[in-house]
A and B are shown apart, each in its own frame.
Chain A
Amino acid sequence: MSDLTPLSSLSSLEYAPAPESRAVVTVQDAYGHFINGDFTNPASSEQFATINPATGEHLATVAQGSDADVDAAVAAARKAYEKVWSTLPGSERAKYLFRIARLIQERSRELAVLETLDNGKPIRETRDIDVPMAAAWFFYYAGWADKLDYAGFGPQPAALGVAGQVIPWNFPLLMAAWKIAPALAAGNTVVLKPAETTPLTALLLADIIRQAGVPDGVVNIVTGDGRTGAALVNHPGINKVAFTGSTEVGRIIQSAVAGSGKKLTLELGGKGANIVFADAPIDETIEGIIDGIFFNQGHVCCAGSRLLVQESIHDDVIERLLRRVEQLRVGDPLDKNTDVGAINSAAQLAKIAELTEAGVLEGATRFSSSCALPSAGFFFPPTVFTGVEQTHRIAREEIFGPVLSVLTFRTPEEAVAKANNTTFGLAAGIWSEKGSRTLWMAERLRAGVIWANTYNKFDPTSPFGGVRESGFGREGGRHGLEAYLNV
């Protein structure tokens, strides 16, 4: 068509590496537990390594928390609760939380880089989402500390005491913030156990808490694997258990806590349905599908891992989606242009590979991005399965990786039936320009969070949590206080 002579052009804009500097972070060789305001020598000599999943590089050695360590942490938290924290007016507690929020902002670069190193998620996400939202969570709950009388739970709602909190590896710092901020605002003290593959940002948060001058023992952090978590959850000295992780472990914890009088909240797995109607805003929908499943490598409990597409636009959606998947930049998580980073661990990579194999064997059609994967570290190409049936494992089991299963539906009723045909119920997405139908769907979908024309959005003011086997209790908003108050 053109009679213009091209004067210059690039065959494509191949972005040169744009790595974030890691000089901002100092990782110690070894870490003890943070108990009673100080990093302590662990009671047991057992240690384990935490690595950079993008390279396999050894980052640090971390202590395996023993029963004695947990005892010490709970004792410190109890003492802090009784002697200090419960005697402070809410307005004073608030100021500590505000300080933590500000310190997170001040040290945001350091936290973002460290999170990316330890977790493998892209720096763009740690920088733009995990870290700023962690600060926002403290900022939000700080304001509640002296307003609990107005939270809708009656006058002078009481704290529970010592909270035992166990968090996962997918949002290490953010989950610590989700747990610690409301607990402290409500007047509790905490013992938190980060995931064994991602302990470093929680330990940096401990340093921030120390810088903030938070009284000793109010926040204690004990590292370790599931044994440490079990010791904490079963400890008779705690009044509250908050757990985020798999449904499998959630069952064990609920069973262990039954009849103990400990208040329990569980945020567990999911198999989120992302439902696309023929009248969806198509380009934004494609982005929403991408965000829904490839955000954080799909290591998201509320991931939109089941795409339900109205049959009449299935081919068009798939064509656009696969074109877009090919564009995703997979690789060095520290590169500012990376969209999809490393899988968090060898074990998780094996699980993703196993379920992906199952999808192929069950007869679904696999499309994986042709992107080059780094030779070291744990990586998995963004993958889409079409022709998935509800009986397939990849339509029922949580993969917790960058793997999307596409199913179709014909009518809104069928979309609801398929979306709800799971024992989970954490999140769902609805894509349509028709408001009345979207609300009709929202009334019927069994999910704790429903995103309409968006996906994977979080905010400290917005309650988050599941129904059915995705757990109970809410994190975020006024609702998030209930988990930490005796109401």
Chain B
Amino acid sequence: MSDRVSVSKTYKMYVNGAFPRSESGRTFVLNDVEGNFLANVAHGSRKDIRDAVVAARGATNKWKSATAYNRGQVLYRVAEILESRHDEFVSLLQLTDGVSAKRAANEVSKSIDLTVWYAGWTDKIAQVVGGTNPVAGPFFNFSIPAPCGVVGIITPTVNSLSGFIATVLPALASGNTVVVVPGSHEAIPVAVTLGEVAATSDVPAGVINIVTGTASELAPILASHEDVDGLDLAGAGESRLELGRLASATITRVVDSDLRDLHDLKRLRAFIDTVTVWHTIGQ
């Protein structure tokens, strides 16, 4: 045992580039897998979701109008910071996910590599899903992927690190901003720490927002929010049906499949709207 008293972390949320407590002032106790006290976690509320969506909406223009090259570099920077905190995540995963040191290390490495994989997609996705269309007439016609805007994500309840990366990174790589609700209480510590990663990489404020709390309480607020354009319900479990219904009020795009493949082109395509432009050709 160490002979000094460690400085323990306050688990706050991550909204608009800052680390606020819940506006409600509520917290709840989070224990590790052994049942030891880990933290008093911010218990996010309806208004916290509101603030996070406002922040995400405010960041959409900056993020989508950044060059794809620039977005790729920013996401690659996330991987760099993750790598530098490799050991911290290994320790954390042992406490929250209850996995062995070896499995945790593997999980962290895999997540970093996945981040690099998605970072590389930012300036390639348009060529893969877009292109020119040979219409029968004197028109130049091309299709480009446009991010649909603000995406709400309920992260998977298991594998808190790779689950977060595998749902959040595709939405970011395609140019969306996100409001993330950890799918389970166990997933919160990793999510909060990933907020710190975001804050210390070059991700612009508001692009990633993380609201901690109880997913079953926060998800319906997110799903029914009119200014949320897409929803990834990977960690929503049984409530998907109800959340999907709420989303239908504003024709929100919904992904309600489990996370099967970490390298998921379906998720990369999910929050893209194909925009097709016609222009006349003439001298």
Contact = CB atoms under 8 A, between A and B. Distances in A.
B274 A450 contact: no
B244 interface: yes
A258 B245 contact: yes
Interface in A133-154: 136, 152, 154
B251 A471 contact: yes
B266 A487 contact: yes
A67 B245 CA distance: 24
A479 interface: yes
B229 interface: yes
A452 B133 contact: no
Interface residues of A, number: 49
Centre residue among B244, B251, B253 by max chain A CB count within 10 A: B251
Contacts of A425: 273
Contact of B275 (A257, A438, A447, A469): A447
B35 interface: no
A253 B280 CA distance: 37
Contacts of B248: 251-255, 258
B123 interface: no
Interface in B233-248: 240-245, 247-248
B229 A449 contact: no
Contacts of B243: 258
B253 A477 contact: no
A443 B251 contact: no
B141 interface: yes
Interface string A413-437: 0000000000101000000000100
Interface stretch (A52-60, A367-375, A454-462): A454-462
Contacts of A463: 133, 143, 274, 276
Nearest to B148: A467
A93 B148 CA distance: 35
Contacts of B1: none
A477 B139 contact: no
B70 interface: no
Contacts of A459: 133, 135-137, 141
Nearest to A441: B277
Interface in A248-293: 250-255, 257-259, 266, 268
Nearest to B132: A461
A194 B229 CA distance: 30
Contacts of A477: 133, 143
B229 to A, nearest CB: 7
Contact of B251 (A250, A448, A450, A461): A250
Contacts of A453: 279-280
A268 B273 CA distance: 14
A453 B281 CA distance: 10
B137 A457 contact: yes
A487 B12 CA distance: 38
A452 B244 contact: no
A442 B277 contact: yes
A259 B253 contact: no
Given A454-B139, A462-B135, A477-B143, A258 B274 contact: no
A298 interface: no
A461 B135 contact: yes
B274 A465 contact: yes
B274 A452 contact: no
Contacts of A466: 273
A254 B279 contact: no
Interface string B219-261: 0000000000100000000001111110111110110100000
Centre residue among A258, A268, A425, A479 by max chain B CB count within 10 A: A258
Contacts of B277: 442, 449-452
A385 to B, nearest CB: 27
A133 to B, nearest CB: 10
B283 interface: no
B128 interface: yes
Centre residue among B128, B245, B254, B276 by max chain A CB count within 10 A: B276
A435 B112 CA distance: 42
Contacts of A471: 251
Nearest to A254: B248
B30 interface: no
A452 B251 contact: no
Interface string A39-65: 000000000000000000000000000
B144 to A, nearest CB: 9
Pick the 6 closest A-B CB pairs, nearest first. Answer: A258-B244, A259-B241, A254-B248, A459-B135, A255-B248, A452-B279
Interface of A: 136, 152, 154, 247, 250-255, 257-259, 266, 268, 423, 425, 435, 438, 442-443, 447-454, 457, 459, 461-472, 474, 477-479, 482, 487
Interface of B: 65, 128-129, 131, 133-137, 139, 141, 143, 146, 148, 229, 240-245, 247-251, 253-254, 256, 265-266, 269, 273-280
Given A268-B251, A454-B279, 13 more contacts: A258-B254, A447-B275, A449-B278, A450-B277, A451-B277, A451-B278, A452-B277, A457-B137, A461-B134, A462-B135, A462-B278, A470-B251, A477-B133
6 contacts: A258-B254, A448-B275, A452-B278, A462-B135, A462-B276, A470-B251
